[in-house]
A and B are shown apart, each in its own frame.
Chain A
Amino acid sequence: MNTLTLYFRREWQLMFRNTSSLIQPLTFFIIIALLFPFSLPAENALLQRIGGGVIWVSAVLATLLSLESMFHSDYHDGTLEQMLIHPRSLPLAMLGKALAHWTATGLVLSLFSPVLCLTFNIPSDQIWVLFAGLLLGTPSLTLIGAIGAALTVTLRRGGVLIAIIILPLYIPILIFGAGMLTQATQGLDVTSQLYALAAILTLALTLSPFAIAGALRVTIN
C-alpha cells in the first residue's frame, strides 16, 4: 500500500473509533453560526445578506479548533517520532493525514452548510454557490492550518498561537469564498472566484505537505 493511502486509512480508523472527533467540529460550527442571529436584529433581510459570511467565518473557526488536536495524540504516544525516522516520505504521509482530517471536518461542514443556509433564508441557487466554495476552500484551510499545528505541536499552550499565526493566512480564502456569495446575490458570474479558490487549493496541496514535514522536523528533535 502506498504511503498516502496508508496514512489516510490509519487516520480514518482512529477517527471512527473516537467519534467525538467527528461530532465536535460540526457542533461547534453550527453553534457559532447560530450565535449571530441571536446577537443581531432578527430581520430576515439582514440575516440573508450576512448569512454567507457568517457560515464562512464559522467554518474557519471550526477548522481552527480541530487543528490543535491534529498531531496531539500522535506526538504524545511517540508515533510522530516514528513517522519522522521512518524511510517513507514524510510529506506524502502528512498529505494523507491532512486529507483524512479534512474529510472529518471541512467535508462534513460543507455537507451540512445547506441546512444552515436554510435557517438564514439564503435562496437555493446561492446555496449551491456557497456549497461549492466551501468544498474548494476548506481543504486549503486544513492544509495551511496543519503547518501551524505542526509548528506548535510541542508547546503546551499552542491553541492561541495557532490562531495568531494561521488566521492572517486564511484571509484570501475567506475573501474569495465569501466574495463569491456577494457576487451571486448581485446576479454576477462567480467562476473567477471559483478559479482563485481552486488555484489556492492547488498551491496548498503541492506546497504545504513539505512545509508541514519541515515544521515537524524543526520542532521535534
Chain B
Amino acid sequence: MNPFTSIWTFLSTTYHRLGSPREFYRISRYVTPVFGFLFLTLSALGAYFGLFVAPADYQQGDAFRILFVHVPVAWMSLFVYVVMAVAGAIGLIWRMKMAFVVTICSAPIGAAFTALALLTGSIWGKPIWGTYWVWDARLTSELILLFLYFGIMAVYYAFEERKTAEKAAALLSVVGVVIVPIIHYSVEWWSSLHQGVTVFAEGGPKMPPSMLLPLAFMAVGFMFFYGYALFLTMRNRVLINERKSKWVRALAMGESI
C-alpha cells in the first residue's frame, strides 16, 4: 500500500476512534500523563534558563523576566480560542459529540490563560509603564476576549438540556471567531502603547537567542499544559455526559474497560 494512504487511514481511524467517548476515555488515560510530564519538564527548563541564564535587559533590568510567562500565556489565550471555535464548528457541522466536549472544556482554560495574561501584564506594567492599567489596544482586546470566554460559559450553563447548551455555546464561539479579528484591529487603530511584534517580526526575531530559548521552552510547555488540563477536564466531562451508559456503570463498579 502507498505510504500516504496508510498514513491517511491511520489518521482517519484515530479521528473516528477519538470521536467515541469510550475510546477517548481509554486512550486519554495514557496520553494525559505524557502531556503533564512534558509540561513540567519544558516549563522547568524554561524557568531555569529564563531566571538564571538569560541576561538582564539593558533597559528593564530583571523586571522583563515575567515576559517568559506573559508572552506564552497571551499566545495561548488566542490559540485556545481558535481551537474552541474550530471544535465548535466541527461539532455543529458533523454532529461530533467529542468536538462539543473540546469546546466546553476549553472555555475555562482559555479564560484562565487570558486572565493570567492580563494579570502578569499589569504586574509588569507597574514598574515599566508606571501604571497597572492603560486603555491600550492589546490590553483592551485581551479584556474583551476574557468577556467572550465568560459569555460562552454563561450560555452553556444557562440551558438545562445539555445538547442544546453544547450547540448554543459552539455557535457563539464560531460567531466570536469572526468578530475577534475585527475587535483586534478596531482597538489597534484606536490607540496603542503595547510593544509591537518582536518574536515573529520581519527579518527574524528582535531578541538574542539567550532570551528566545527560554521563551520557546515556556511556549511549548504551556501548549502541553493546555493539552494536559484539557484532557483532564474532558475525561471528567465524558464521565458526566455518559453516566447512563454501560461502560461508565461498569467503570463505577470497578471493572476495567
Closest to A200 in B: B182
CB pair B154 A161 closer than 8 Å = yes
Interface residue? B168 (CB, 8 A): yes
Query: Known contacts A168-B148, A172-B182, A196-B186; is A151 also within 8 Å of B154 by CB?
Result: no
Tell me the bound Cα distance from A203 to B150 in angstroms: 24
CB pair A155 B178 closer than 8 Å = no
Tell me the bound Cα distance from A196 to B190 in angstroms: 12
Closest to B154 in A: A164
Contacts of A154 in B (CB 8 A): 159, 164
Report the minimum CB–CB distance from B108 to chain A (whole Å). Answer: 16
Tell me the bound Cα distance from A214 to B168 in angstroms: 9
CB pair A215 B171 closer than 8 Å = yes
Tell me the bound Cα distance from A99 to B160 in angstroms: 31
Interface residue? B155 (CB, 8 A): yes
Tell me the bound Cα distance from A215 to B182 in angstroms: 22
Closest to B141 in A: A171
Interface residue? B31 (CB, 8 A): no
Contacts of A31 in B (CB 8 A): none
Report the minimum CB–CB distance from B166 to chain A (whole Å). Answer: 9
CB pair A219 B179 closer than 8 Å = no
Query: Known contacts A203-B178, A219-B164; is A171 also within 8 Å of B144 by CB?
Result: yes
Query: Known contacts A168-B147, A219-B164; is A175 also within 8 Å of B154 by CB?
Result: no
Report the minimum CB–CB distance from B174 to chain A (whole Å). Answer: 8
The dominant DSSP class at the A interface is helix
CB pair B151 A168 closer than 8 Å = yes
Mark B7-34 against chain A: 1 for CB-CB distance below 8 A, else 0.
0000000000000000000000000000
Q: B151 contacts which of A155, A165, A221 (Cβ < 8 Å)?
A: A165
CB pair A169 B158 closer than 8 Å = no
Q: A169 contacts which of B174, B179, B187 (Cβ < 8 Å)?
A: B179
Q: B171 contacts which of A158, A169, A214 (Cβ < 8 Å)?
A: A214
Tell me the bound Cα distance from A151 to B92 in angstroms: 15
CB pair B155 A175 closer than 8 Å = no
Interface residue? B183 (CB, 8 A): yes
CB pair B179 A151 closer than 8 Å = no
Closest to B181 in A: A172
CB pair A165 B186 closer than 8 Å = no
Chain B interface residue number, banded: 20 to 34
Q: Which of A156-172 contact B (CB under 8 A)?
A: 158, 161, 164-165, 167-169, 171-172
Query: Known contacts A168-B144, A175-B190; is A218 also within 8 Å of B164 by CB?
Result: yes
Closest to B92 in A: A214
Tell me the bound Cα distance from A152 to B164 in angstroms: 11
Tell me the bound Cα distance from A164 to B172 in angstroms: 12
Closest to A214 in B: B171
Mark A102-117 against chain B: 1 for CB-CB distance below 8 A, else 0.
0000000000000000
Contacts of A151 in B (CB 8 A): 155, 168, 171-172
Interface residue? A211 (CB, 8 A): yes
Q: B168 contacts which of A167, A169, A175, A218 (Cβ < 8 Å)?
A: A218
Contacts of B92 in A (CB 8 A): 214
Report the minimum CB–CB distance from A90 to chain B (whole Å). Answer: 14
Query: Known contacts A151-B168, A155-B159, A164-B150; is A211 also within 8 Å of B186 by CB?
Result: no
CB pair B171 A176 closer than 8 Å = no
CB pair B171 A165 closer than 8 Å = no
Interface residue? A147 (CB, 8 A): yes
Report the minimum CB–CB distance from A116 to chain B (whole Å). Answer: 24
Contacts of A6 in B (CB 8 A): none
CB pair B150 A219 closer than 8 Å = no
Contacts of B152 in A (CB 8 A): 165
Query: Known contacts A172-B179, A214-B171, A218-B171; is A161 also within 8 Å of B158 by CB?
Result: yes
Q: Which of B169-216 contact A (CB under 8 A)?
A: 171-172, 174-176, 178-179, 182-183, 186-187, 190
CB pair A172 B186 closer than 8 Å = yes
Tell me the bound Cα distance from A215 to B167 in angstroms: 9
The residues of B with any CB-CB pair to A shorter than 8 Å are 92, 144, 147-148, 150-152, 154-155, 158-159, 164, 167-168, 171-172, 174-176, 178-179, 182-183, 186-187, 190
A-B contact pairs, 25 of them (CB 8 A): A144-B179, A151-B172, A152-B158, A154-B164, A155-B159, A158-B158, A164-B150, A164-B154, A168-B147, A169-B148, A171-B144, A171-B183, A171-B186, A172-B182, A175-B187, A175-B190, A176-B186, A179-B190, A196-B186, A200-B182, A203-B182, A214-B171, A218-B168, A219-B159, A221-B164
